[in-house]
Structure 1
Amino acid sequence: MKKKVLSVSLSGVLAFGALTTVAPSALAVGNGPNYNGNESIQTSILHTHEELVDFLKTQDAKQEALELEVIGESVKGRDIYLAKYISNPENPTILFLTQQHGNEQLATEGALEFIKHLGANKVKGVLENVNILVVPMLNPDGAMGDVNFSLENYIADGDRHLTRYNANEVDLNREHAKPIHEMQPEQRAFYENVLEKYEIDYLIDLHHQGTRSAIDGELVSGSMLYPLNEEVDPTVVENSKKLGSVVYHAIEAKGWGKIGKYRGGTGNNIGRNGIASRYGIATLLFEMRGMSDHEYESYVLGQKSNGYLIQQSVLALESSVKAIADGSINDADISFWDDLPFQYWMGEEEVEEDE
């Protein structure tokens, strides 16, 4: 049953400055509310596609180092953007991808904040030593709920629903083993105008999972996994694990996040595997707790933890570029993966969590 809620301000939800003053133990991100009919699930606080485009154009006008590129269009004709920071083609390059699934938007909110931080020089000294590419919303039709199928059973309130699929009800993160010309328009644009065009060394594919995953009896704030397909070069797997090490230890050091190992498959149709095997790019799946909208209540997270989850994605992006820029990623300890527990579904009937 859908519930009606009061609107909340975007500034209140995205008050990043307040995060540093809140006691981490009191509001650990893993302990945010599930949807149970009492929390606000309000999509109107999230950037619409039009607002995202306005934000990117504003930052482009302010930031000399930033260049915007439209890499293609969605099924419904919405432009798909790539934000580029390329100072030296010889530098290592990292790509951040968000919203293959349209209902997984807090990672996109984090990516936009990260872009803003780059313009404000909050990530000092990185742009001279690392190239950064950001696709902040690959599935704008799903994010806007402008699709050719019904979303009437979806949970959230606000100005729109958000769905996993594109307008044709296709999961874009199951397209990666196809020939490029057979892919959906969004994924084809990503392959033709990003993966085929740029020399990319690292990729973080940001997603969201359900709300009840746990390790050690505690709900997680997210989970990670490297490529598992046997076609992926072992060196690529090792570099993927190093990227995960950087992200894991950055979040662990803050004290308010809790990361588990994702239970993922080996198929090349999934981005984590397919991109690594096809292009030799070190890839990391990074899943954050809770989705912005869904028809299953156990997937949707109330807004109490939004600020922490957005900050968690910012931290993942910033720690990655810093480690690549200063070369410390090359010495990252990957042994933690051997002891990192697989997450499990806690407290309810288990629901499959596809990346």
Structure 2
Amino acid sequence: MKKAMLTLSVAGALMFSVVPAASAVGNGPGYGGNETINTSILTTYEEMADFLQKQDAKQAHMELEVIGQSVKGRDLYLAKYISDPDNPTILFLTQQHGNEQLTTEGALEFIKHLGTSKTKGILDNVNVLIVPMLNPDGAMGDVNFSLDDYIAKGDRHLTRYNANEEDLNRDHVAKTQPEIQALHTNVLGAFDIDYMIDLHHQGAWSERDGELVSGSILYPTTPNVDPDVLLGSKQLGSVVFNAVDSTGWGHLGKYGGGDAETISRNGLAVEYGISTLLFEMRGMSDHYYEPYVLGQKSNGYLIKQTVTTLDAAVRAISDGSIEQADVSFWDTLAVQQWRDTE
């Protein structure tokens, strides 16, 4: 499998050349102790901030906003594409967990994509909000606890938690952490959001129908969700599933998630009436548990999978086809199972 070639210019601009595998991406290499997982190929917080500022200056339709600060004082960014406040609006949220970085790499590539002629006219009928890194302290390994047992090598470790060792995606009810407070006050409470895709990573050894998956998806499962919100969530999932699973290099399962409203997939659907979809990409960029870490030769297809997901969602909302999306596939989509790696 060919890996993504990621180049950082001296000015910090991101340039990806992503080559997906010819076969299902689930067949990409795991870690297994046989690869060096090097964080130096991943975008740093500073490089991300520089990239966003340059894209903001370059793109007429983009507006960059700082929505708050992390525990360690890093600015939290929101990229906004709002052509008409009355348009349906989708939020893409990445890196609540700091060691789940390839979704951020894909979101940055998608931001660049939105500034090209490839998306001409699409933004006339949909508003797009992108939080490309909600947990920068965890992503940079700048935390108040030890990461000595983490696997990755290079400039930094990446951890699930924020600097206070709190899981941001379990804080959507209590809202104790500054990153979550900023998200709720200055994004969720400030915009009329119709759809959200919450992008995460899962372990590397889940399978569906005997094949390792490239990721998994799930709608809100709390019993308190409004039926119309739930339908919109399932329609969003249908758009994403058809875009990814039909490629020949993507293979999605159903995520086996619970109904706690402390997590965004459930809590935001109830509190704000947003149709939400969880997308868990395969493998993580760093962890202390080897089966969760994916070999970095797989980075390319996971970045491509993120871009495919975001692009498909925006196009379906823009042209209204999401409202006719067939949700019956959810009735037969198998819940992924963990493959025995012993």
The answer, yes or no, to whether TM exceeds 0.5 is yes
Q: Which residue of 2 aligns with 1:277?
A: 270
CA contact (8 A) 1:236 1:276 kept: yes
Q: Which residue of 1 aligns with 2:95?
A: 99
Question: 2:153 pairs with 148, 151, 157, which one?
Answer: 157
* Per-residue Cα deviation, 1:238-277 (whole angstroms, up to 9, x for no partner): 1000000000000122110000000000010010000000
Deviation at 1:15, TM superposition (A): 4.8
CA contact (8 A) 1:14 1:306 kept: no
* Per-residue Cα deviation, 1:303-353 (whole angstroms, up to 9, x for no partner): 11110010000000000000000000000000000010000100237xxxx
Instruction: Describe the shift of the 1:322–1:285 C-alpha distance in structure 2 as closer, same or farther (beyond 3 A).
Output: same
Task: Indicate the SS of the match to 2:106.
Answer: helix
- What is the CA–CA distance in structure 2 between the aligned matches of 1:14 and 1:255, rounded to whole Å? 25
1:169 maps onto 2:165 in alignment: yes
Question: 1:223 pairs with 216, 222, 227, which one?
Answer: 216
Amino acid at match of 2:109: E
Instruction: Describe the shift of the 1:234–1:320 C-alpha distance in structure 2 as closer, same or farther (beyond 3 A).
Output: same
- What is the CA–CA distance in structure 2 between the aligned matches of 1:231 and 1:18, rounded to whole Å? 42
* Per-residue Cα deviation, 1:273-310 (whole angstroms, up to 9, x for no partner): 00000000000000000000000000000011110010
- What is the CA–CA distance in structure 2 between the aligned matches of 1:184 and 1:81, rounded to whole Å? 16
1:63 maps onto 2:64 in alignment: no
CA contact (8 A) 2:91 2:129 kept: yes
Task: Indicate the SS of the match to 2:117.
Answer: coil
Aligned-residue Cα RMSD (Å) equals 1.5
- What is the CA–CA distance in structure 2 between the aligned matches of 1:38 and 1:14, rounded to whole Å? 28
Task: Indicate the SS of the match to 2:261.
Answer: coil
Q: Which residue of 2 aligns with 1:310?
A: 303
Amino acid at match of 2:213: V
1:16 maps onto 2:17 in alignment: yes
1:48 maps onto 2:41 in alignment: no
* Per-residue Cα deviation, 1:89-146 (whole angstroms, up to 9, x for no partner): 0000000000000000000000000000000132232110000000000000000000
Q: Which residue of 2 aligns with 1:5?
A: none
Deviation at 1:11, TM superposition (A): 3.6
Counting only pairs closer than 5 Å after superposition, residues 107-186 of structure 1 correspond to structure 2 as 107-178=103-174, 180=175, 183-186=176-179
- What is the CA–CA distance in structure 2 between the aligned matches of 1:247 and 1:16, rounded to whole Å? 22
CA contact (8 A) 2:6 2:17 kept: no
- What is the CA–CA distance in structure 2 between the aligned matches of 1:272 and 1:14, rounded to whole Å? 31
* Per-residue Cα deviation, 1:126-172 (whole angstroms, up to 9, x for no partner): 11000000000000000000000000000001110000000000000
Matched pairs, number: 334
Q: Could you tell me which runs of 5 or more consecutive residues in structure 2 were left unpaired when the two chains were aligned.
A: 9-13
- What is the CA–CA distance in structure 2 between the aligned matches of 1:131 and 1:121, rounded to whole Å? 17
- After superposing the two structures, state which structure 1 stretch, 152-161 or 33-42, moved more: 33-42
Q: Which residue of 2 aligns with 1:200?
A: 193
Amino acid at match of 2:317: I
Q: Which residue of 1 aligns with 2:79?
A: 83
Task: Indicate the SS of the match to 2:197.
Answer: strand
- What is the CA–CA distance in structure 1 between the aligned matches of 2:249 and 2:16, rounded to whole Å? 16
Amino acid at match of 1:204: I
CA contact (8 A) 1:224 1:262 kept: yes
| Percent sequence identity over aligned pairs | 67
- What is the CA–CA distance in structure 1 between the aligned matches of 2:163 and 2:216, rounded to whole Å? 28
Instruction: Describe the shift of the 1:150–1:156 C-alpha distance in structure 2 as closer, same or farther (beyond 3 A).
Output: same
CA contact (8 A) 2:67 2:75 kept: yes
CA contact (8 A) 1:9 1:45 kept: no
- What is the CA–CA distance in structure 2 between the aligned matches of 1:156 and 1:325, rounded to whole Å? 40
- What is the CA–CA distance in structure 2 between the aligned matches of 1:323 and 1:9, rounded to whole Å? 29
- What is the CA–CA distance in structure 1 between the aligned matches of 2:117 and 2:107, rounded to whole Å? 15
Amino acid at match of 1:327: G
Deviation at 1:217, TM superposition (A): 1.0
Q: Which residue of 2 aligns with 1:252?
A: 245
Task: Indicate the SS of the match to 2:334.
Answer: coil
CA contact (8 A) 1:82 1:135 kept: yes
Q: Which residue of 1 aligns with 2:11?
A: none
Amino acid at match of 1:160: R
1:338 maps onto 2:334 in alignment: no
- What is the CA–CA distance in structure 1 between the aligned matches of 2:317 and 2:171, rounded to whole Å? 29
CA contact (8 A) 1:14 1:307 kept: no
CA contact (8 A) 1:81 1:136 kept: yes
User: Post-superposition, which runs of at least 4 consecutive aligned residues in structure 1 deviate over 4 A?
Assistant: 12-15
Instruction: Describe the shift of the 1:173–1:309 C-alpha distance in structure 2 as closer, same or farther (beyond 3 A).
Output: same
- What is the CA–CA distance in structure 2 between the aligned matches of 1:270 and 1:291, rounded to whole Å? 19
Deviation at 1:40, TM superposition (A): 3.0
Q: Could you tell me which runs of 5 or more consecutive residues in structure 1 were left unpaired when the two chains were aligned.
A: 1-7, 350-355
1:189 maps onto 2:182 in alignment: yes
